[in-house]
Amino acid sequence: MTMEESVLVVTASTDITLWVSRGAAGDLTAGAMDVLTSATPVAAVEEIDVVGCRPTATDIRVDLVVEVQVRTATTETGAVEAALCDGFGIITADVSTVRT
């Protein structure tokens, strides 16, 4: 999906796993927020809760529960998940609800 095709901004409640660099400034929440707000499909982050993490040699794999506004072409859960996973550093997204 290109940004030209993105016509909707939806709010999604989702579980997200992403990479945070060990060199990121601040705590895990701040590092995760940086990754999310840098992702092209993300319009805004409304709520964020770190629920787990697993350090690796160079990064930290962080599990989140978030309420996020996403630019997408459709309100289908799978499309919103795919849009989120197109964001750099986002590994998985499991969307539970989508609201317009």
Q: Is residue 20 part of a domain?
A: yes
* Adjacent-strand bridge partners of 95: 14
Sequence letter at residue 10: V
DSSP 54-75: EE-SSEEEEEEEEEEEEEES--
**Residue 7's pLDDT is what?**
77
Q: What is the pLDDT of residues 1-47, one digit of tens each?
A: 445 554 799 999 999 999 998 876 678 899 999 999 999 999 999 99
Does residue 27 fall inside a structural domain?
yes
By residue range, what is the domain housing residue 12?
Answer: 8-99
- Is 1 within the bounds of a domain? no
Enter the pTM of the model.
0.86
DSSP alpha helices (H): ranges in the chain? 28-38, 77-85
Instruction: Choose among 48, 27, 41, 44: nearest CA to 79.
Output: 41
Q: Which of 9, 64, 56 lies closest to 31, judged by CA?
A: 64
Q: Is residue 2 part of a domain?
A: no
Domain count, the chain: 1
pLDDT digits (tens, 9 = 90+) for 37-95: 999 999 999 999 999 999 988 899 999 999 999 999 899 999 999 999 999 999 999 99
